[in-house]
Structure 1
Amino acid sequence: MARRLPPLNALRAFVVAARHQSFSRAADELCVTHGAVSRQIATLEQHLGVAVFARTPQGVVLTDKGKVLLQGCAQAFALLHDSVDEVMTPSLSSVLVLSCEPTLAMRWLIPRLDDFQQQYPDIQLSLLTAGGVPDWQRGGVDLALRRNDFLLAAGTVVQRLAAEMTGPVCAAGLDETQPQCQLHAATRPQAWADWLAQSDSAPLFSGQQRQFEHFYLTLQAAAAGQGLAMASLYMVADEVQQGRLQAPWGFRADGSEYVLLAPQALAAGSPQQLFADWLKGQMQQTLAQLTVRGSN
């Protein structure tokens, strides 16, 4: 009798976690919580009856059984991707597929996509959320919007869009002159330290700190009045403009940039180049909407 296969979601979480050797980074790529990834791995290990990861103080590493499973999963998913590509209808080949970091997609890009569609109604845009190095071969991705905080693969085409600007934010109406709780994101552990090192004025802190798995969770906590979060200007621009959040200390360049990545040069007038030009214009417009400190 054939054995029942583990759930596909559990196998997918396993592959991503194995690639990153981190449940937190896997959660970022899959746009779920660290706990959700942990539960998927636990489900997989319970189904198999063996451990696929060894937990260490430095993180997780594959066991010997896990290495065997990863090799089989990689081959299986590669075959599945190839089969899907083969049966896709020709019309889908004209779709522009964009990969974007999850928080930037949710808080900045998606609210602006209607403008792009109105300007270019014939270009179909498919949005995927992911971070890190794009998988051009298996992901079917045409372009990737990223912050340049990782090493790029050789041959990647890079178009600079805008400097990353960061600053503390809190709920509108919160008295920023009073000591506040400091909110941290595991995905940007140096954000506060980097900003404070460049700032000539700093908030008052109560000594309390809270850490969240994802960048967007710190912003939610700040909006709920729980303290001060270090934010990207682009991810809070709309809420600051609308008065739901305030940025009393403004924003400063943190040395990184948002870039648009492609596997090859973009042809003039192509959907990829039209989107790249629109995207850069939108980011520059957002930057100009807020008063920026220390941007010279």
Structure 2
Amino acid sequence: MPWPDLPPPHTLLPFEATVRHASMTRAAQELHVTHGAVSRQIRNLERALGVTLFERGTRSLEPTAQARLLAAAVRDGLDRIDSAARQVSRREESGPLALSCEPTLLMRWLIPRLPDLAAQVPGLTVHLSAGGGPVSFEREAFDLALRRDDFPVPARVSRTPLFDEWIGPVCSPDLARRLGGADGLSDVTLLHTSTRPHAWDDWRRLTGTRSEGGPQREQTFEHFYLALQAAVAGLGVAIGPYALVHDDLVRGQLVAPFGLVPDGTGYQLLGPRPPQEDARVSALLDWLRGQAARLRPAQDLTGRAALPTASRPGPREV
């Protein structure tokens, strides 16, 4: 045997799943075996290695440093075997793709563009679901996720940047005419959202704008799309990310009277494997890149104040 230190191969799958979930119960559920079967394989692996791999508490199971090191190597090996098996078998992935997307981006940007996807990639079906924040492709029933890059992503997850985030105050044209300069913000209702409670603070920090006057009128909405719809209705001024307000700016339902600035974040497509390993994902990514290319503010769609050319960053590599 050319690998004298290789532990029993049949112990590695339950071990990796147990480390990933920090739970034998959830590992057993994933592998469709009993809790006892997983526990026996973990004990067999510990005996073969001569080390304890988990610190067992009354209601907790904590992998040791050695366990995390071994699990990372096992995971990398399984990923390589999976990729090689797909290439050897020449198996074509088929069926629809399940894509999870942040709710407001889904409603205000992605869904309105789906007719173009159907025309450009007629053989591709995408099932959409709304979701935000960290993803676990092992535990959740979707193939891809479109997310803002404001949380850490595990190294094993494939990440493809799509477009940068630009933000700025947006409001109806009638309300914009009454604002004058940034001082006018103290005389209108500022619209907030629970999902990005610091959006106004972020914009002020990025632009060096101070809050003038006394207490301002404010209204908070549970979701971003509600705050933006309130801005369209003329109820006040909201912070509008460019992708989420692009169509309203084009239609003239909203204006960005003070322009937009990059906030240092962006949106990315996440997946369990590199896009080139699945023809469906590659086709969807090509289409998303084409749509994303239109979201770099290269002309004045922002109301009275055009974006200063000198302050625009170059496009992010995708």
Shorter-chain TM band: 0.5 to 0.7
Q: Which runs of 5+ in 2 are unaligned?
A: 1-58, 60-92, 301-306, 314-318
Give how far 1:137 is off. 2.7
Retained in 1: the 8 A contact 2:192–2:238? Answer: yes
Measured in 1, the distance between the counterparts of 2:109 and 2:171 equals 18
Give 1:202-213 correspondences, 5 Å limit: 207-213=216-222
Report the 3-state secondary structure (helix = DSSP H, G, I; strand = E; otherwise coil) of the residue aligned with 2:248: helix
2:224 aligned partner: 215
Identity of aligned residues (%): 39
Pick from 195, 201, 205: which aligns with 2:203?
A: 195
- Cα distance in 2 between the residues matched to 1:133 and 1:256: 15
CA RMSD in angstroms, aligned pairs only = 2.3
Aligned to 1:248: 257
Aligned with 1:141: secondary structure?
Answer: coil
Amino acid at match of 2:172: A
| Alignment of structure 1 residues 56-205 onto 2, 5 Å | 94-174=95-175, 175-177=178-180, 178=184, 179-200=187-208
Q: Does structure 2 conserve the Cα–Cα contact (< 8 Å) formed by 1:237 and 1:290?
A: no
Q: Which amino acid aligns with 2:131?
A: A
> Could you give the per-residue CA deviations for residues 178-235 of structure 1, whole angstroms, max 9, x where no partner exists?
4211111111122111111121557877711112211111111111211110111010
**Post-superposition shift, 1:153?**
2.6
Higher strand fraction: Structure 1 or Structure 2? 1
Opposite residue 295 of structure 1, the aligned amino acid is R
Q: Which residue of structure 1 lines up, in the alignment, with residue 285 of structure 2?
A: 276
Q: TM-score, normalised by structure 2?
A: 0.60
The CA deviation at 1:289 is 6.0
- Structure 1, unaligned runs of 5 or more: 1-66, 68-91
**Larger-Rg structure:** 2
What CA distance in whole angstroms lies between the structure 2 residues aligned with 1:203 and 1:244?
26
Corresponding letter in the other structure for 1:107 = R
Alpha-carbon separation, structure 1, partners of 2:236 and 2:168 = 13
Give the letter aligned to residue 186 of structure 1. Answer: S
- Closer, same or farther in 2 for the Cα pair 1:269/1:136, shift >3 Å? closer
Q: 1:123 to 1:261 in 2, by over 3 A?
A: same
The answer as to 2:295 corresponding to 1:295 is no
Correspondence for 1:56: none
